[in-house]
Structures are given as C-alpha cells and as structure tokens.
Amino acid sequence: MKTLLLIAACFIILASCAPAKHAVNTKLPSPYEFTLIDSVKGAKDELFVKANEWVAKSFVDAKSVIQMHDKEAGKIIAKGVMTVNTSFMLYTLTNHVSYTATISIKEGKYKIVLDNFELFETVTTSRVVPCSSSLDKTSSPCIQGNQWDKIRWGCYSQAQNFLLSFKSGMKKQTQDF
C-alpha cells in the first residue's frame, strides 16, 4: 500500500513538472510585448471614438484603467489585469498579471502596444502570495517549476485575443440611429 502511494505521489510530481505543450513554431516574444499596427477607414476623430468605446466595453471599469486620454495627440494609455489559472500538484493557482495598453491613432491608421507585463500576485485556495516579477524575464523567484512558462503562455494567448478583439472593434461600422 505504501509503495502504491509512493508511486502515485511520484507520478503527480513528475506530471506537474512536465513541459507545457505549445505550438511547435511559436516562440514567446522578447521583449515580452505585443504590437498591432493596422490601417482602417476613418478620420482620426472617428477612430479615436471607436478606440475609446472599445476600451470602455472591454475593461470592467474603464474610468479606473485609463491613465491617459488625449484626443489631440490621438493617444490612450490604459492599465489592465489578466488572470491566468494554472495548476500545481493538487492546487489551482490564480495568477494576476498587470499590463499597459498604449493606443495611438492617426488618420486611417492605429497602433496598439501591450507591454509592461508584471505578475503581482498568485492566489491559492489558502493564501495570497504577493510577487513582483516582470514577464520579460525567463524565470521568477516566486514561482516554482514550469508554472512561470504556463503564466507567460497564458498571457500570450490572452494578448493575442485582446489584439484581435481590438482590431474587430476598430473595423466595426459606426451606427447612426
């Protein structure tokens, strides 16, 4: 019986340390940031309104996340938080990662940059573990094993979805009522 429990414990430990599975040719960016530049029909003012509307609908509380809002310059800077759930042995970890979204608008064109990704806390079922680790680094002193890669890949996936959502929002037709 003890042997069976020991084998099961070893299997669980080895399984939690197995490398994460990702697309073969996909590499994480270095530095850890994501940029989308695209052309779209519309005047600068119209595109600025679309970008503002998208931020207001995409963030839970747009007023608290917008750090800068300058219509003349065509620039919006917002702070957001991504949540990446990972598992370690028998625990589910909820990792909170902050980031900066910088949106620049010009006539018929926009650019959005997601950067400054920073893991600031990990929550387990029993406690909150504060952490300060930039996702630009390949490891973190406060995260064990392959959890760091899982967090970085989780943010990568969410950032790609974020950029696609922004692109869709910018291409939407303005509705006049």
- Domain map of the chain by residue range? 30-134+148-171
pLDDT at 19 over 50: no
pLDDT interval class at 92 (50, 70, 90):
confident
Q: What percent of the chain has pLDDT over 90?
A: 54
pLDDT at 22 over 70: no
Q: Mean pLDDT across the stretch 28-53?
A: 94
pLDDT interval class at 9 (50, 70, 90):
very low
SS (H, E, C) the chain: CHHHHHHHHHHHHHHHCCCCCCCCCCCCCCCCCEEEEEECCCCHHHHHHHHHHHHHHHCCCHHHHEEEEECCCCEEEEEEEEEEEEEECCEEEEEEEEEEEEEEEECCEEEEEEEEEEEEEEECCCCEEEEEEECCCCCCCCCCCCHHHHHHHHHHHHHHHHHHHHHHHHHCCCCCC
Model confidence pLDDT, tens digit, residues 119-177: 998 888 778 888 889 998 888 888 877 889 999 999 999 999 999 999 999 998 766 65
| CATH 3.40.47.10 at 30-134+148-171, yes or no | no
pLDDT of res. 175: 67
